[in-house]
């Protein structure tokens, strides 16, 4: 897999941008639950007041507040008593809370100084208890209880006077020790409270002070909710833009990787020898170039989100839970993760062995489909449609069963994981509800905890999804690497030789032997003959004697396993394959045409050749007769594989293609078999004038095609059993004579006819 992913480096800039965008998206996603918590806790419950530190407080309230603390100096250090001239910061606070038109007299309010968040948090803790005590004493019922406590040991005549006095004034005028003693019980009760409850009560006290000062609490609340909502929309917009950009870039990177892999696979396959093509099979190579690469593309689209995004969300969400919410509920996340890992692990063990099998079954289906479609005429001729349908159905059913097993197992995963998510949410609400009831946490904190938990669970879900995709992609990657890393058994040497210009067109077989890869016996042995320029060398023999194998050695479709094969005086293993094949005009036994036009097929060797050269080649190949019978002449479309032309027409166009190349050596591998005798004779006669100084090697079954050759090589069971002219072989070679008499009469053979 890593070897395949190395190809992503071609899109390194896109990958860097994706990583940056994923970090941005993860950061914004982690910020949103915090805003939800603030809107509920601060915006709705606290009326837009964030902390127990009032930004503006009346002088009277400040004096009353300082009665209940020993930290008066520390608290006042953070405030400024408003004078005649206000600073820009002070004006901003006054306008925020009291409006622009509000007029305040000098030395009537305290305004907070610009302080750091850490300092403000410390100040909030210092003010929480005093604020609660002050507010409590301003409560009529509570005030009466404290007055009763004060007057408990007083004479009855003094009690009415004390009862009529303001409690705050009484507290102020008391000696410090007496004041602490009276308030001690009340203070102890406050100190025992949860910090969250104390903070909420203190914020409520700040709210009361703002109301006394004339602050519009409704406006303050609406402004806070509106600003927080706009910030959330902004963050959500960044998240959306990042997510869209990530998907677009990921798709682009995946598509580019797919293109790169297809290029590499194709370029590797195009240089494979026949040995490698047989080992892999055409159907498997097609599957590896399409389905397997598609699996990699699908993985890449998700992979970046898992490698970068999921860990940030998972770790970041867990940190947020521990710092922003009640860490006592963190065990719920652990339960969720363990449940997810259990389900994914179980499915992974069940499905993993099936992934490799799935790709192999796709290979088999493609192979069967290709064989049936290629051999359709034969199938119809033998009326074997039902048999082939059964063979296809078997391969199709095997694939379907395996695919169904994998799909069903995968389809179970999402409902199970969704069940876990919903169960976890219910558990959070249950536990969180009790914590809210006990004052341990606020409603907003519980909502944030739910969101953080869902983010963490979703991160593990993403990892789980990719962990299921990864094994199949890993199998595909391995199959792709097998192709890319397979070296062709036929390749050029580091130092290549040049052809000898003095031996141009000379072909020499010297003790050549050959066996197919993994074969036990040799197909050819001790082959010795020479094909010279200006001569036609024919090769004939019974079926399976090795005729086609000999000519396949010339362009190095296979390498000889013994002896030497020389062209232009140089061993073909010592020259560049491109230079070697440029010298040869090869016409295979089975005419192969490419989709396009007649012109593009004839000009296949050189698309820039002149039309005159193309037409001359077609004329020599006896193809002009049917070409001019077409409506569009040379522009007539040719279907894939030449399926819209006959076998004879296909052969003539293949011959025209080789002639148009104008090579030094012509190789015809039984290329006249589909031609009638008349066309065969005309073609050989026209070809003779074109190949006067060329080397011509013909493999043929027909005696009439090779009777006039300057040299005829007779093969039997992979060995040369005769070399000579037609007349010489008729007299001295029984194998040749038997082949000849099986096709022509003695009179025809004796006259040297057959044309």
The answer on 417 and 293 residing in a single domain is yes
CATH number at residue 472: 1.20.1560.10
Higher pLDDT, 307 or 423: 423
**What's the token pair of residue 633?**
């002449």
Lowest mean pLDDT across 8-17, 187-196, 259-268, 686-695: 187-196
**What's the token pair of residue 723?**
């070399």
Taking the C-alpha atoms of residue 419 and residue 634, their distance in angstroms, rounded to an integer, is: 67
In a domain, 199, yes or no: yes
Structure confidence at residue 167 (pLDDT): 64
Tell me the per-residue pLDDT of 404-420, one tens digit each, with 9 for 90 and over: 888 887 777 778 878 88
In a domain, 24, yes or no: no
The answer on 414 and 309 residing in a single domain is yes
| DSSP H/E element including 57 | strand 56-58
Strands in 79-81's sheet, in edge-to-edge order, are 56-58, 109-112, 79-81
What mean pLDDT is predicted for residues 338-363? Answer: 78
**Contact by Cβ (8 Å): 350, 64:** no
| 485, 519, 546 - which closes a domain | 485
| 485, 501, 531 - which closes a domain | 485
The answer on 272 and 191 residing in a single domain is no
Residue from 210, 167, 169 nearest 186 by CA: 167
**What's the token pair of residue 471?**
């094994």
Structure confidence at residue 270 (pLDDT): 85
Q: What share of the chain is helix, strand, coil (3-state, %, to 5)?
A: 65, 10, 25
The answer on 316 and 403 residing in a single domain is yes
The answer on 308 and 205 residing in a single domain is no
Cα R_g (the chain), whole angstroms: 47
Phi, psi (rounded to 5 degrees) for 564:
-135, 145
Q: Mean pLDDT: which of 226-235, 300-309, 481-490 is highest?
A: 226-235
Tell me the per-residue pLDDT of 43-67, one tens digit each, with 9 for 90 and over: 888 888 888 888 898 888 888 888 8
The answer on 481 and 400 residing in a single domain is yes
The answer on 399 and 278 residing in a single domain is yes
The answer on 273 and 202 residing in a single domain is no
The answer on 390 and 324 residing in a single domain is yes
In a domain, 596, yes or no: yes
What mean pLDDT is predicted for residues 539-551? Answer: 87
**What's the token pair of residue 562?**
């013994």
Taking the C-alpha atoms of residue 94 and residue 111, their distance in angstroms, rounded to an integer, is: 8
- 306 pLDDT more than 60: yes
- 214 pLDDT more than 90: no
- Within 396-455, strands assigned E span none
In whole numbers, what is the pLDDT of the chain averaged over residues? 82
Structure confidence at residue 325 (pLDDT): 56
For the chain, the maximum distance between any two Cα atoms, rounded to a whole number of angstroms, is 163
**In 3-state terms, what secondary structure has residue 524?**
strand
What mean pLDDT is predicted for residues 569-594? Answer: 88
User: In 105-216, where does DSSP find H-type helix?
Assistant: 117-138, 140-150, 159-164, 167-173, 176-191, 195-213
In a domain, 307, yes or no: yes
Higher pLDDT, 140 or 539: 539
The answer on 202 and 278 residing in a single domain is no
CA–CA distances in Å: residue 377 to residues 380, 393, 639: 5, 20, 17
Structure confidence at residue 235 (pLDDT): 92
- 751 pLDDT more than 50: no
pLDDT band at 754 (very low <50, low <70, confident <90, very high): very low
Tell me the per-residue pLDDT of 154-205, one tens digit each, with 9 for 90 and over: 666 666 766 666 666 666 666 667 666 666 666 676 666 666 677 788 888 8
708 contacts: CB under 8 Å, gap ≥ 6: 536, 684, 726, 752
Task: Report helix angle 12-38 to 293-304, nearest 10.
Answer: 40
**Contact by Cβ (8 Å): 736, 712:** yes
In a domain, 610, yes or no: yes
In total, how many domains does the chain have? Answer: 3
In a domain, 718, yes or no: no
Structure confidence at residue 194 (pLDDT): 65
The answer on 445 and 337 residing in a single domain is yes
Structure confidence at residue 163 (pLDDT): 63
Structure confidence at residue 230 (pLDDT): 93
Tell me the per-residue pLDDT of 615-664, one tens digit each, with 9 for 90 and over: 888 888 888 888 888 888 888 888 887 778 888 888 888 888 988 888 89
CATH number at residue 614: 3.40.50.300
In a domain, 44, yes or no: no
Angle, CA 742 vertex, CA 736 and CA 745 arms, to 5°: 100
In a domain, 544, yes or no: no
| 174, 191, 213 - which closes a domain | 213
Residues of the domain holding 344: 267-485
191 contacts: CB under 8 Å, gap ≥ 6: 129
The answer on 300 and 206 residing in a single domain is no
Structure confidence at residue 752 (pLDDT): 42
Taking the C-alpha atoms of residue 669 and residue 647, their distance in angstroms, rounded to an integer, is: 15
């Amino acid at each position: 897999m890593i070897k395949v992913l190395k190809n992503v480096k071609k899109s390194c800039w896109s990958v860097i941008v994706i990583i940056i965008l994923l970090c941005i998206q993860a950061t914004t996603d982690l910020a949103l639950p915090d805003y939800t918590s603030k809107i509920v806790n601060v915006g709705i419950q606290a009326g837009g007041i964030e902390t127990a530190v009032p930004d503006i407080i009346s002088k009277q309230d400040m004096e009353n507040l300082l009665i209940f603390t020993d930290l008066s100096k520390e608290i006042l250090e953070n405030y400024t008593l408003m004078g005649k001239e206000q600073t820009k910061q002070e004006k901003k606070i006054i306008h925020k809370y009291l409006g622009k038109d509000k007029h305040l007299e000098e030395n009537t309010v305290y305004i907070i100084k610009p302080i750091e968040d850490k300092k403000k948090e410390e100040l909030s803790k210092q003010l929480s208890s005093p604020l609660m005590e002050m507010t409590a004493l301003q409560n009529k019922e509570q005030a009466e209880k404290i007055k009763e406590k004060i007057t408990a040991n007083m004479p009855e005549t003094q009690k009415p006077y004390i009862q009529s006095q303001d409690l705050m004034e009484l507290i102020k005028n008391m000696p410090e020790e007496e004041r602490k003693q009276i308030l001690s019980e009340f203070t102890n009760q406050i100190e025992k409270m949860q910090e969250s409850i104390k903070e909420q009560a203190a914020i409520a006290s700040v709210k009361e002070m703002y109301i006394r000062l004339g602050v519009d609490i409704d406006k303050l609340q609406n402004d806070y909710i509106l600003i927080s909502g706009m910030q959330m929309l902004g963050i959500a917009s960044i998240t959306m833009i990042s997510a869209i950009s990530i998907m677009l870039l990921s798709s682009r990177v995946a598509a580019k990787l797919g293109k790169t892999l297809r290029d590499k696979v194709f370029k590797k396959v195009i240089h494979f020898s026949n040995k490698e093509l047989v080992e892999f099979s055409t159907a498997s190579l097609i599957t590896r170039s399409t389905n397997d690469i598609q699996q990699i593309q699908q993985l890449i689209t998700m992979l970046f989100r898992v490698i970068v995004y999921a860990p940030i969300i998972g770790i970041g969400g867990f940190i947020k839970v521990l710092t922003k919410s009640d860490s006592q509920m963190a065990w719920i996340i652990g339960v969720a993760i363990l449940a997810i890992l259990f389900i994914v692990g179980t499915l992974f063990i069940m499905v993993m062995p099936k992934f490799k099998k799935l790709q192999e079954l796709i290979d088999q289906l493609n192979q069967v489909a290709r064989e049936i479609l290629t051999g359709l005429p034969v199938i119809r001729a033998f009326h074997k449609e039902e048999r082939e349908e059964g063979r296809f159905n078997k391969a199709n059913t095997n694939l379907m069963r395996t695919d169904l097993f994998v799909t069903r197992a995968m389809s179970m995963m999402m409902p199970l994981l969704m069940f876990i998510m919903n169960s976890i949410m219910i558990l959070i609400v249950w536990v969180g509800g009790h914590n809210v009831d006990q004052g341990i946490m606020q409603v907003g904190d519980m909502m944030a905890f739910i969101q953080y938990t869902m983010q963490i669970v979703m991160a593990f879900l993403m990892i789980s999804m990719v962990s299921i995709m990864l094994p199949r992609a890993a199998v595909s990657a391995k199959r792709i690497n097998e192709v890319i890393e397979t070296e062709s058994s036929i390749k050029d040497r580091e130092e290549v030789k040049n052809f000898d210009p003095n031996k141009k067109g000379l072909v020499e077989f010297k003790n050549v032997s050959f066996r197919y890869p993994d074969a036990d016996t040799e197909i050819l042995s001790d082959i010795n003959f020479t094909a010279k320029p200006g001569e036609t060398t024919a090769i004939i023999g019974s079926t399976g004697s090795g005729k086609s194998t000999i000519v396949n050695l010339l362009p190095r479709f296979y390498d000889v396993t013994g002896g030497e094969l020389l062209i232009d005086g140089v061993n073909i293993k010592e020259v560049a394959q491109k230079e070697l094949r440029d010298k040869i005009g090869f016409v295979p036994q089975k005419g192969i045409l490419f989709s396009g036009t007649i012109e593009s097929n004839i000009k296949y060797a050189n698309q820039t050749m002149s039309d005159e050269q193309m037409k001359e080649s077609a004329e020599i190949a006896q193809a002009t007769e049917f070409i001019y019978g077409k409506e569009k002449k040379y522009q007539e479309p040719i279907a894939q594989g030449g399926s819209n032309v006959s076998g004879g027409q296909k052969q003539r166009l293949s011959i025209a293609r080789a002639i148009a190349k104008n090579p030094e050596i012509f190789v015809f591998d039984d290329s006249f078999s589909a031609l009638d005798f008349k066309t065969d004779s005309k073609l050989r006669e026209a070809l003779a004038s074109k190949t006067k100084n060329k080397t011509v090697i013909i493999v043929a079954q027909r005696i009439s095609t090779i009777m006039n050759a300057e040299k005829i090589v007779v093969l039997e069971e992979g060995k040369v059993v005769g070399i000579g002219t037609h007349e010489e072989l008729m007299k001295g070679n029984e194998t040749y004579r038997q082949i000849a008499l099986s096709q022509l009469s003695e009179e025809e053979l004796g006259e040297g006819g057959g044309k």
